[in-house]
Amino acid sequence: MEAAGGAAREMDAMQFGDLAHDVLKQFGEDKDARRWTDAAKIAQWFEDCLWQSAKQRFGSRPQPLVRLQVESVEQRLKKHAEVEAEQRQMGWEIVAVEMKLGEEESNALLINGARFTGKADRIEHNSVTGERRVLDFKTSDKRANPREKHCAKIKPERLDEADHWKTFSLAGEEGAWIWKDVQLPLYAAALKHHPLGPVTQAGYACLPKAVMETQLELWEGFDERWSEAALACAAEVVRRIREGVFWPPKL
């Protein structure tokens, strides 16, 4: 049992992101709206959906700070409407939103015997080029580069011995890398087993605090090499968990 609190005075980062994600999810599920190429029309749709969702979460008279935060989400979404319109004009179509990966055993990705599960924010298909891509929405304050968020170039001689298992190299690329995250490459690997088929691109749809920086950030040079390296890292994670190896801790 927990004490019942009053109306929320402020959204935390997760609530802020969930609110934006909810609007984008509903947009992707609207079979008419998701085909529009008019940025102003999409922006109005976003605004109407946002305030309806905010009303359901915080009531018809949200606290002043919450209202300011909702207005911030509104500004980000209105700018993102231009991105949505542009992508539709380029032939990109929304085919799935918040798609759960690994639910069905028949097409699940197994990593060292463990089933991989995840939820991809959006899958898109280009009717002109035939390409597919997986996108993850980011509402953090600053624009994020997907490759930089997932890995970094390193010099092995300067690396802590305990982190060597996270390192990898790519055929045709100079130097060594270390994983910081493996989300998007594993999504791509999982989609190879899915009826929708494999993706050729991966990236972030960034809705940062500085709305003028709103844009898609695609992973430059993304291909199967990245997914294969991520799978190797994930397989080692599974092995270590099974063997109870949790040292050293990441502080």
Mean pLDDT per 10-residue interval, the chain, length 251 residues: 63 95 98 98 98 94 94 98 98 97 89 95 97 97 95 85 90 90 97 90 97 96 96 96 82 49
Residue that is written with structure tokens 């922006």 in the block: 43
CATH topology of domain 92-251: Lambda Exonuclease; Chain A (3.90.320)
Question: So what's the pLDDT on residue 21?
Answer: 97
CA angle 130, 198, 236 (to 5 degrees): 155
Verdict on whether the full-model pTM lies above 0.85: yes
Question: So what's the pLDDT on residue 222?
Answer: 97
Q: Residue 3, Cβ neighbours under 10 Å: how many?
A: 4
Q: Residue 219, Cβ neighbours under 10 Å: how many?
A: 22
Bond into 146 cis (ω within 30): no
Question: So what's the pLDDT on residue 9?
Answer: 85
Q: Which residues contact 2 (CB under 8 A, 6 or more apart)?
A: none
Going from N- to C-terminal start, the domains of the chain cover 10-89, 92-251
Residue that is written with structure tokens 């001689």 in the block: 157
Tokens of 22: 């909810």
Question: So what's the pLDDT on residue 212?
Answer: 95
> Which class for 175: exposed (0-12), middle (13-18), buried (19 or more C-beta within 10 A)?
exposed
Q: Which residues contact 61 (CB under 8 A, 6 or more apart)?
A: none
